[in-house]
Chain A
Amino acid sequence: MIVRYEPWGAWVKTETIPALVALDRDGVRALGLDGGRAWRAGADATPSPPIEVHLAVTSRCAAGCEGCYLDARPDGVEPPADEIERAFDALAKAGVFTVAFGGGEPTLRDDLGDLARAARARGLSPVVTTSGLGLGARKLEQLKSFAQVNVSYDGASEAYESVRGFDGAAAAESAIAKLSGTGVVVGVNVVLTRDTFERTKETIRRAASLGATEVQLLRYKPQGRARALDYLAKRLSPEQARGVGPLLRELAAEHEGRVRIRIDCALVPFLSADADLASRPEELARWGVLGCEAGDLLGATRVDGRVAPCSFTAPTELRVEDLAKGWADEAGFAPYRAYSAAPAEPCASCTLRKVCKGGCKVVSEYANGTIGPDPECPRVREHAAGAGEGRPSGA
């Protein structure tokens, strides 16, 4: 297992059961370990390095998805391998646990398997997202080097096309089956839009039948090519946003752990509409549910080596090779950290505040030109409409 000391104890990454555990000081001592300097330095005020970094290994992609958050194109940039390996060195030095390969379409790189092994050699857990388009034997072999592979799959033909502008569902389904068949741990990324939301249960059943063992539900976000007027038509309706909690409950009951259900950070604010979940913030925290961790537990690196708070935000001046020494003080992270630490109402009084951290700042910046309460959060909507007055927090 890999241990990274923190002022409160340590992050512990276990290998026999893939998990990342936040262990308190007594627990760390029980393992025969001592945080030493990290426990004495009054380091509470210093932001720790991220636990997970999303690394764009290419900005090339021929798929042309309408909503691509990076505006990836066929003539995009592919950094040389040695540059990416230097990025791995920097992530390892900082104590990052997981590196998520993205792009662009990572499988367009001929050296993808080598890069995954290079990440592993440095103690990092490499994972990757792919469209699954054109997944032949060679690419399949390369993907075996990853701890997990997620295929972008928004549902059967119409659902898929409604998100990406073309029907790549068959290719994605084929990729899921091939990956599963070769023993790769495979999950799917499902973007929730107004069109796909009602078909989510059907989509997950289909993915599970093909061998997917994990589903990550993603909120549609206004960035890249999705930062257009049709974002407003594609995003979840207010009623659907309120329905995320009940949907998750139904999915958990149906799949009973056989297919693991994940939500992305941007969906956490929608849980505020679920009275049961909103009353259980400690349990959410205990099970490691993370809201906006941009510039905190999460970072993202662009193909040019610049580090951003998350994949959807503009890059800062910090370069990945300087991550360990520059993460804490990079000014570009300050607005994200500041709002997460002290959000305005109605976030300030929300029971989920410490988990949610003020909702998706990419959405609030898109809607209002500044970081603030997530305007699509049901609780924020109620507050804005004046209906939030006097309501119990989180309800």
Chain B
Amino acid sequence: MSEETVRETTEPRELDVANVRAVRVGHGANCSSVGSVIDTLFLGAVVGGALLAAVCAAMKVEPVTVVGQTRDAEDAPHDGGDP
């Protein structure tokens, strides 16, 4: 993809499920309207927790590609804090 940066992750990352604001599971493949998985809401906390944990585990180890508005390498440190 254009404007991308790619780097391999070599250090373990600390990431908590509390940092996940939202997760959309799966690809979906409808071409006319946006679809959202709904059954997760009915499957109970154990299933949901396991899914969140698995997604967080994936984020800790997968190589990173940044797309869209990429960070300028010369940018000053961020100002911190959630919006």
Contact = CB atoms under 8 A, between A and B. Distances in A.
Contact of A95 (B67, B71, B75): B67
B32 A288 contact: no
Contact of A4 (B13, B35, B67, B83): B67
Q: Is chain B's interface secondary structure helix, strand, loop, or mixed overall?
A: loop
Contact of B27 (A9, A95, A148, A283): A148
Given A4-B68, A7-B83, A214 B59 contact: no
A75 to B, nearest CB: 21
Given A7-B83, A19-B26, A31 B67 contact: no
Chain A: interface residue count, which band? 35 or more
Interface string B12-52: 01111001111111111111111111111111000110000
Interface string A1-31: 1111101110010111111111111110011
Given A12-B59, A260-B25, A288-B36, A3 B30 contact: no
Interface residues of B, number: 63
Interface string B60-79: 11111111111110011111
Q: Is chain A's interface secondary structure helix, strand, loop, or mixed overall?
A: mixed
B31 A129 contact: yes
A92 interface: yes
A303 interface: no
Contacts of A24: 19-21, 82
A310 interface: yes
A15 B65 CA distance: 11
Nearest to B14: A30
Contacts of A92: 1-2, 67
Contacts of A351: none
Nearest to A8: B83
A93 B37 CA distance: 27
A35 B75 CA distance: 10
A98 B81 CA distance: 29
B34 A255 contact: no
Interface stretch (A164-172, A227-235, A245-253): A245-253
Contacts of A189: 30
Contacts of A25: 78, 80-83
Given A263-B36, A288-B23, A288-B24, 4 more contacts: A22-B20, A23-B20, A185-B27, A265-B35
